[in-house]
Structure 1
Amino acid sequence: MKVRIMIMMLGLLLAMPGFTSANVQVPDENQKPSAPNSHEIDGEKGTEECDCDEKHEHMHKNWQEKMAEREQKLLTWVNQYTPDKKEEWTKVLSEKKELRNKWLSPENATKREKWKQEKMEKIQALKKQLDEGKITKEEFVQKAHGGKAMGNWKSFHDLKAAVDTRNDKQAAELLNQLLEQTKQHNEKMKAMVVE
C-alpha cells in the first residue's frame, strides 16, 4: 500500500503541469540524439537529458501529445466562447512554452534538480506523517501539491463539461478563470527560472 501511494504521488508530481510543465519529446528517428535518453524540446534542436528508462519514453510522448491536444481544444473554445481574448490567450500560451523551454534548458538543470530534491523531501516528510496517522490521505494530497489541488486541471475538465453540455456562459467564465490561472502559473515559472 505504501509503495503504491508513493508511486502514485511520484506520478502526480511528474505529471503535474501546473508547476513543472515539462514538455519533452522523443527525438525524430532521423535525428541522432546528442546523449542517451535525450529528448527534443518543442521541436527545437536542443536536447534535455532524461533519467527515464527507455520503456518509459512512450509516457513522455503521450503526455506531450495530450498537452498539444489540450492547447488546441483551448484555442478552439477561445474562438467560440471568448474570441475577444484570443490574442491574450495566444500570448499567455506562447509565454508558457517559452518559460517551459527555459526551465528545461541545461542552464537550469541545477535548479530543476534542487527543486525535485526539495519536492521529494517534502513528499517523504508528508508520507511519514501519513504513515504515523498525523495527517489524512486527503491532507497528504493537498499538501503535496502546495495547497492548489491541481486547480487548473479541474478548471479545464469543468470547462470541457460546460462545452459538452453547451453551457456557453459557464464555458466563457471558466475560460477566463483558466486564463488567470495560466497567467499565475507563468509568474511562478518566471520566479523559478530567474532565481
Structure 2
Amino acid sequence: MKFRMLIIMLGLLLAMPGITSANVQTPDGSEKPAEKRTLPGSQDKEGDKDTEEFDSEKQEHSHKDWQAKMAEREQKLLAWVDQYTPDKKAEWTKVLADKKELRNKWLSPENAEKREKWKQEKMAKIQELKKQLDEGKITKEEFVQKAHGGKAMGNWKTFHDLKAAVEAKNDKQAAELLNQLLEQSKQHNEKIKAMLAE
C-alpha cells in the first residue's frame, strides 16, 4: 500500500507542471484560462505581464504555506525535544538554525544555476531508472529506493515514526527516534553544505 502511494506521489510530482498550466483560480475566485500561446515574434506584452504577476503571487502563496507548515513542524519537534530529550535542546536549536541558513542559501538567486543542475541530474536519473523498470531490470521497490536515494526518505519516515511514538506515549522510543532524527538532520545539513560548495 505504501509503495503504491509512493508511486502515485512520484507520478503526481512529475505531472505537476502539466497540471498547473490548466485553468486556475485567481485569488479573487475568478477562473483564469490556461496560458495563451503566442507564435515566436508575436507581441503579447500585457498577457505576459498578467501571467508573470499571477505566477509570482501563486509561488509566493505556496511558499508561505510551506514556510508555515515547516515552522509548525519545527515547533512540534522542539516541544518533543523539551519533553523527551531536554539535554539535547541546545544541539537541536543549532542544527535547526543551520538548516534554515543552508536552505536560504540554497534557495537564493546566486545558487539558481546549481539548483537547476541538481534538478536536471535528478530527473535524468529518474528517467534512467524508469527505463530500467520498464525493461524489467529492476523491481518497483528498487525503483522507489533508488529514485528517492533511500536515506533521503529516512528523515520523513523517522519524523512520522516519532509522531506515532509520541501519540502512543512510548517515551523510550520517542527519545530514541529524536536522537536518530538529530543525526539524520546533521547529515542532511552536511549534504547541503557539500552541494553549495560544488
- Counterpart CA distance in 1 for 2:80 and 2:67 is 20
1:102 is aligned to 105
The Cα of 1:10 is off from its aligned counterpart by 3.3
2:38 is aligned to none
- Counterpart CA distance in 2 for 1:99 and 1:109 is 14
Considering fraction of residues, name the structure with more helix.
2
Aligned counterpart in structure 2 of residue 142 of structure 1, from 141, 145, 153: 145
Deviates more, 1:58-67 or 1:104-113: 58-67
Deviations 1:158-188 (Å, cap 9, x if unpaired)? Answer: 1111110111111111100000000000000
Aligned counterpart in structure 2 of residue 8 of structure 1, from 12, 32, 47: 12
- Counterpart CA distance in 2 for 1:162 and 1:120 is 35
CA contact (8 A) 1:103 1:193 kept: yes
Matched, 1:89 2:97: no
- Counterpart CA distance in 2 for 1:136 and 1:54 is 41
The Cα of 1:7 is off from its aligned counterpart by 2.7
Deviations 1:78-108 (Å, cap 9, x if unpaired)? Answer: 0111111111100000000000001111111
- One-letter identity of the residue aligned with 1:92: V
The Cα of 1:56 is off from its aligned counterpart by 6.8
CA contact (8 A) 1:141 1:149 kept: no
Relative distance call for 1:86 and 1:59 in structure 2 (3 A) is: same
2:182 is aligned to 179
- Counterpart CA distance in 2 for 1:71 and 1:148 is 20
Percent identical pairs in the alignment equals 78
The Cα of 1:37 is off from its aligned counterpart by 6.3
The Cα of 1:132 is off from its aligned counterpart by 1.6
Relative distance call for 1:143 and 1:53 in structure 2 (3 A) is: farther
- One-letter identity of the residue aligned with 1:84: D
- Counterpart CA distance in 2 for 1:81 and 1:99 is 27
TM-score between the two structures when normalised by the length of structure 1 = 0.72
- One-letter identity of the residue aligned with 2:87: D
Unaligned runs of 5+ in 2: 1-6, 17-51
Matched, 1:169 2:172: yes
The Cα of 1:64 is off from its aligned counterpart by 2.6
Q: Please give the residue correspondences for 1:1-150 in structure 2 after superposition, counting only pairs within 5 Å.
A: 7-8=11-12, 10=14, 36=52, 59-148=62-151, 150=153
- Counterpart CA distance in 1 for 2:159 and 2:189 is 17
Unaligned runs of 5+ in 1: 13-35, 39-51
- One-letter identity of the residue aligned with 2:11: I
Relative distance call for 1:160 and 1:4 in structure 2 (3 A) is: closer
The Cα of 1:9 is off from its aligned counterpart by 5.1
1:23 is aligned to none
Relative distance call for 1:68 and 1:57 in structure 2 (3 A) is: same
> Which structure has the bigger radius of gyration?
2
Deviates more, 1:79-88 or 1:58-67: 58-67
After superposition, the CA RMSD in angstroms is 2.8
Length, aligned pairs only: 158
Q: Describe the SS at the equivalent of 2:136.
A: coil
